[in-house]
Amino acid sequence: MPLPAYLLLWITVVLSGGTVFFFSGIRKRVLKLLLAFSGAYLFALCVIHLIPEVYSSPVKNIGIYVLAGFFLQVALEIFSEGIEHGHIHIHIHKHQQQAFPFALMVGLCVHSFLEGMPLVQQFSDEKTRNSLLAGIILHHIPVAIALTSMLLESGIKKGGALFYLILFACMAPFGAITSNLLSETAVTNISNFFDQVMALVIGIFLHISTTILFESSEEHRFNYYKLATIILGAGLALISL
């Protein structure tokens, strides 16, 4: 994977999360629309690009790994409590005036690390890698905003919030770098298991995207906005065919 891709993964998280320091009044409705857009893109990405890619591999029972990824994300959310799909009010209420929620960061960082691992995979179509990179970036932008908002509203100082934002930003590039290093090692050649890793990530994406898409609002007008945003997100994935 070229160096600009690593930088893009990192800087988009830092810049999007950094906006919260200057625009603390980012509305939750805007965040929900960003999440809906990224969720629709991830879902369409899985259906159009990623699932056909892994199911064309010679690995038997690849669906088991997709299912494992789905339930792995369920397990990770025991720690992160759903901040990956915008559940920040839970954390603000739970962690306000308390010590920093390390379990949240562990769950979120493991999630991001795993997402970055298949970026160095050799895909049958180079467009698939670019679409995967775009999907991770689009997913991480609202997550970075939600994370920074939660940290600041929980009473954590700006310096600490920035540190943890940068830590989160490093996880996906670190996953890709680690995967690349392991693939060059004869003893632990992870490239032999890229299809399984990709299937795990697909399961993670499916859980996150469907959770976002099936969440509803009591306000019907907002649901119309959400529907339009979802169509735009899915349409972007279709354009990359």
| pTM for the whole structure | 0.86
pLDDT surpasses 50 at 195 = yes
The larger pLDDT score, comparing residue 164 to residue 225, is at 164
* Residue-averaged pLDDT of the chain: 84
Tally of CB atoms within 10 A around 159: 7
The larger pLDDT score, comparing residue 151 to residue 170, is at 170
Residue 11 CA, distance from chain mean position: 15
Confidence class of residue 153 from pLDDT cuts 50, 70 and 90?
confident
Average pLDDT estimate for 152-174: 92
* Sequence ranges of the domains in the chain: 27-239
Contact 195, 57 (CB under 8 A): yes
Condensed to tens digits (0 to 9), the pLDDT of residues 77-126 reads 888 777 877 666 544 445 444 555 788 889 999 999 999 999 988 887 77
Distance, CA of 131 to CA of 46 (rounded, Å): 10
Condensed to tens digits (0 to 9), the pLDDT of residues 129-142 reads 889 999 999 999 99
Q: From 9, 18, 8, 3, select the one nearest 164 (Cα to Cα).
A: 18
